[in-house]
A and B are shown apart, each in its own frame.
Chain A
Amino acid sequence: MSRRVSIVLAGLGLSLLLASLLSPFVSSSPDGLERVAEDQGFLGRAESGGEAAPMKDYLFPGIGSEKAAAAAAGLIGTLGVFLLACGLASLLRKKVASEP
């Protein structure tokens, strides 16, 4: 296996591990922007929306355990981003002239 393939697999593996094993245990405190919005009294302007999003709040639907739902959403999202970004990059990459 070439070293390039192996570092891509290592990076993808690390990302999938982070997304599935750590994501169920992250801080649920408001983030920086939410904190400022709350303190300055404009949090109420946020429109809830996002009902069409299939994995709202990073939870895969239909899984009883919230931790398992978070892990599943993390895995699927990370894999989906990897495939989409690779697909986009291979469409955009420079084409080597086919003529000799």
Chain B
Amino acid sequence: MHIPDGFVSGPVNAAAMAVSAAALGAAVVRARKDLDDRSVPLLGVTAAFVFAAQMLNFPVAGGTSGHFMGALLAGVLLGPFQSCLVLAVVLIIQALFFADGGITALGSNILVMGVVGGIGSTYALRGLRLLLPKGRGGFLAAVAAASWFSVVAASAACALLLAVSGTSPLAVVLPAMVGVHALIGIGEAIITVAVVSMVLAARSDLVGAWNVKGARP
């Protein structure tokens, strides 16, 4: 869903950049409080995995492809704000070195995938955990739902930016974007649950969202 240059207007990109910069500022402030030495390589490897997996487009219906976003996975491991930071690092590298996503559209892409995808879906996960049963099954169900939501919510945010920019009317672009990303979100949920299950089995202490106080039975 990387937005190229030309889709989002200058003022909308500038506003998106301002919101993204504020979110990244909050991530920096929180890192100074929460990010300990042992989290440094975890953040690095999460970013590397998100970058690698984002290269792997899988086919969905009708000659369309989708790829893993990784925002909720990063949120599960590192928390909402460090997820936004991870996505921003990946998006900046992709735009500068791989021409994937426009350089002027970076603020919009960070807003869509880092702020809405990363921060939004990680808080959605926290909400879902209050509704679903405690324990591993309930946790993984919440991860599945929140990761699907991360892609759909990001696509809705992207549609909103396109509509406000005058690129396409909201009544057209919103259902179109949400429709195709509701399918891509299923792939996101499958990959996220698979990876979270593996990390839970190997090293449950690294799964930050699992270890929130009082969340386990």
Contacts and interface: CB of A to CB of B under 8 A. Distances in A.
Interface of A: 3-5, 7-8, 11-12, 14-16, 18-19, 22-23, 26-33, 35-37, 39-40, 42, 45-47, 49-51, 53-58, 73-74, 77-86, 88-90, 92-96
A42 B8 CA distance: 11
A86 B58 contact: no
Nearest to A77: B51
Contact of A47 (B2, B40, B51, B102): B102
B212 interface: no
Contacts of A46: 4-7
A40 B57 contact: no
Contacts of A96: 37
B18 interface: no
A27 B59 contact: yes
Interface of B: 1-7, 28, 31-53, 55-60, 62-67, 85-86, 89-90, 93, 95-100, 102-103, 155, 158, 162, 167-168, 172-173, 176-177, 180-181, 184, 199, 202-203, 206
A4 B176 CA distance: 43
B64 A30 contact: yes
**Chain A contact residues, majority secondary structure:** helix
Main DSSP-derived SS at the B contact region:
helix
Nearest to B30: A92
A90 B3 CA distance: 30
A57 B55 CA distance: 10
A28 B90 contact: no
Given A57-B99, A78-B48, 14 more contacts: A16-B48, A26-B56, A29-B63, A32-B60, A32-B177, A33-B2, A47-B102, A49-B5, A56-B99, A58-B98, A82-B45, A92-B31, A93-B36, A94-B34
